[in-house]
Structure 1
Amino acid sequence: MRRPTTTDLYVLAWRHVRRLPDAPVRGLAHLVADLVWLGRSGGVRQLERNLRRLRPDLDERALRRTSRAGMRSYLRYFVEAFQLPGWSHEQIDARVRAVGVAPVRDAVARGESPVLALGHAGNWDLAGAWASRALAPVLTVAEKLPDGLYEEFVSFRASLGIEIVPLEGGSTFRRLTRMARTHPQIVPLLADRDLTAHGVEVDLLGSPARVAAGPASLALVGGHPLVPVAITYERLRGADRRRAGTPWGLVIEFAPFVATADDDGARRGVADVTQDWVTALFERVARSPQDWHMLQKVYLADLDPARLRSVPTAGE
């Protein structure tokens, strides 16, 4: 008998989790999150290293409490991803509260395609499903995954109104640049972790880190507005909770546009524009650190020195 693959398990979850009652599924997810947190896996330890640098004001007790809440938030994202294909448009709208969205909506109305700089926080799939109807068609990039899992993710996101470009080296940027110019749309890019050899070194609230160059590069080359966007969870109560059918809602906070040109009209550099969106985004992420699902290495102190050669830094 063939042993189930990761893809098999994802497909099984996408087909059946949506049919299960919400409360028991969320309760099970909390239990799994707590067990993983108690097990002190490498991912949990890395999460705490990241949180310690993001929020150096937290003492050890507060850090452990935040990392536990972080694992619950992370598992909540997965549960919602499996439930999302079964949600109605009304349920999606009831779960989302957008802050500062008017300038983005105006830019789309002018025929522009804003580039959104996102972190791995909250539920970006739910945000994309909401934005594909509330704002404009959504175009983004996804890492290629093994064993057919990438195709499943592409199919899942297509059902939400999200078009995917695979991450395949230099051709990805050229294709994304071309597609972003075809019609007004929004282009959200998860960029708080560099998956290439061309990342940018930044000051992430006081600690050196490496992030993706994509948002700044695309905005500069294509002449698109660049918007940092923070995504966090919030508790729903009363009528809001009844409409959503869940205790958790999503806040999508659109920060002011990042300047891509100097006062004299000269185009700014990728590194400086990247630093600006990182600062704007993470000042907001730091307010809800438990929703930053970063179990991988981001800060230079944790990264392999061999990967850090020839990395541009802000100001260069």
Structure 2
Amino acid sequence: MRERVADALYGLGWSAVKKLPEPVVARLGRRIADTAWKRRGASVQRLEANLARVVPEAGPAQLRELSKAGMRSYMRYWMESFRLPTWTPDRIREGIEIKGEHHLHDGLAQGRGVIVALPHLANWDLAGAWVTSYLQVPFATVAERLKPESLFDRFVAYRESLGMEVLPHNGGAAFGVLARRLRSGGLICLVADRDLSASGVKVDFFGAAARMPAGPALLAQQTGAQLLPVTLWYEGPVMKGEVHPPVPVPAEGTRKEKATRMTQDLADVFAAGIAEHPTDWHMLQRLWLDDLEPRDPRPEERAA
């Protein structure tokens, strides 16, 4: 029943919100965010706990203000996303400013393929729409499997309407397709600050251990593609972003050692961007290892 209700609500959002004037949508988003924040549900409490790691000097009152602003930013993401399929290319370009885009142009010009890796900051779907409408470059991405299947299908259709090729996250099944896209000189974009497989790379993130997906680093090693970290944030009515310099593949080490080093480099760039704009980090899930639910150890951990 919960899954059917969620599917119906998302469907209502995509069908109804896009028909409303933007000022009305903005007010609606703030009202929903403030209502959710006042209820102090599990997601709001988790967001606040995550922000406590990002802003360790913040006291209880400041954390509450940060989480309130964070919920407003999160609902802004959803309100924009519901309206994005109706935005013209000019409207998309007006809503985003990107610094360092020459890194993206340079990587594509070399024909080696480019991997864009970014955290859950601001509106990554708007950044993708900017790539397909402004740069006019198609790209592939991976979507988390959602339940019910109809809700997952809605998300796939939504992102495909923005010009993205969407692959389902089914273990490592998408890896080969992404590698082929890169070898042909293409672009892929991956949200890479949360490991969905429980088999990612352990990194130091704000002074504590977390796991992040190894896929971006492994793809860069295997295909020779450039790995570009990207951070995003809201600034008034505009979303801003920065394409950071490429993460190099280490000259020495095993494949795993190289992937660990590269993923830590990504995590460091992500952490710097999140620390500058903590309320735009939409992480309402558990991330750090000591926050995760207990699980059975992996075979290599049992052996150790």
Cα drift, residue 91 of structure 1 = 0.5
Q: Is the 8 A contact 1:118 1:191 kept in 2?
A: yes
Does structure 1 conserve the Cα–Cα contact (< 8 Å) formed by 2:114 and 2:182?
Answer: no
| Structure 1 counterpart of 2:165 | 163
Which sections of structure 2, spanning at least 5 residues, go unmatched?
none
CA-CA distance at 1:4 after TM superposition: 6.0
The whole-number CA distance in structure 2 between the counterparts of 1:291 and 1:105 is: 26
- Which of 287, 293, 296 is the aligned partner of 1:304? 293
Counterpart position of 1:222: 223
Structure 1 residues 227 and 11: alpha-carbon distance in aligned structure 2, compared to 1, 3 A threshold: same
**Aligned counterparts of 1:305 and 1:9: Cα–Cα separation in 2:** 32
Provide closer, same or farther for how the CA distance between residues 302 and 260 of structure 1 changes in structure 2, counting only shifts above 3 A.
same
Matches for 1:92-171 after TM superposition, within 5 Å? 92-135=92-135, 136-147=137-148, 148-171=150-173
Q: Which residue of 2 aligns with 1:239?
A: none
Which residue number corresponds to residue 278 of structure 2?
Answer: 289
Contact 2:114 2:226 in 1 (8 A): yes
What do residues 56-86 of structure 1 show as CA deviations (whole Å, max 9, x unaligned)?
Answer: 1222222111111000000010000001111
* Residues 1:165 and 1:311: Cα distance change in structure 2 (over 3 Å): farther
Aligned to 1:290, the other structure's residue is in SS state helix
Q: State how far apart, in whole Å, the 1-side matches of 2:4 and 2:259 are.
A: 44
CA distance in 2, matches of 1:187, 1:226: 10
User: How big is each residue's C-alpha offset from its partner over 1:74-116, in whole Å with a ceiling of 9 and x where there is no partner?
Assistant: 0010000001111110000000100111021111122132111
Give the unaligned 5+ runs of structure 1: 236-247
Change (3 A) 1:58 1:311: farther
2:266 is paired with a residue whose SS is helix
Match of 1:197 in 2: 198
- Displacement of 1:305 after TM fit? 3.7
Q: Select which of 237, 240, 265 maps to 1:251.
A: 240
1:11 is displaced (CA, Å) by 2.3
Aligned to 2:108, the other structure's residue is in SS state helix
Identity %: 41
The question of whether the paired residues in 1 share the 8 Å contact of 2:229 and 2:269 is answered with yes
Higher mean C-alpha displacement, 46-55 vs 286-295: 46-55
CA contact (8 A) 1:200 1:311 kept: no
What is the one-letter code of the residue matched to 2:139?
A: V
Q: For residues 3-38 of structure 1, what are the alpha-carbon distances to aligned partners after superposition, in whole Å with 9 as ceiling and x for unaligned? A: 964223322321221110111221121111111111
User: Contact conserved, 2:103 with 2:244, CA < 8 A, in 1?
Assistant: no
Deviation at 1:265, TM superposition (A): 10
Conserved? CA contact 1:113–1:224, under 8 Å:
yes
Q: What CA deviation, in whole Å up to 9, does each residue of 1:121-162 have, x standing for no partner?
A: 100110000011333212110012223111111111111111
Structure 2 counterpart of 1:28: 28
| Alpha carbons of structure 1 residues 200 and 266: separation in structure 2 relative to 1, 3 Å | closer
Preserved contact between residue 197 and residue 307 of structure 1 (Cα < 8 Å): no
Which one has a larger percent helix, Structure 1 or Structure 2? 2
Deviation at 1:310, TM superposition (A): 6.1
Look up the SS of the partner of 1:294 in the other structure.
coil
SS of 2:282's equivalent? coil
Q: Give the whole-Å Cα distance in 2 for the aligned partners of 1:308 and 1:54.
A: 28
Instruction: Report the Cα offset of residue 307 of structure 1.
Output: 5.9
The Cα of 1:231 is off from its aligned counterpart by 1.1
Partners of 1:137 and 1:161 within 8 A in 2: yes
CA offsets per residue over residues 216-246 of structure 1, 9 Å max, x none? 11111121111111111111xxxxxxxxxxx
**AA in 1 matched with 2:213:** A
Quote the residue 1:67 is aligned against.
Answer: 67
Q: Is the 8 A contact 2:138 2:163 kept in 1?
A: yes
Q: CA RMSD in A?
A: 2.0
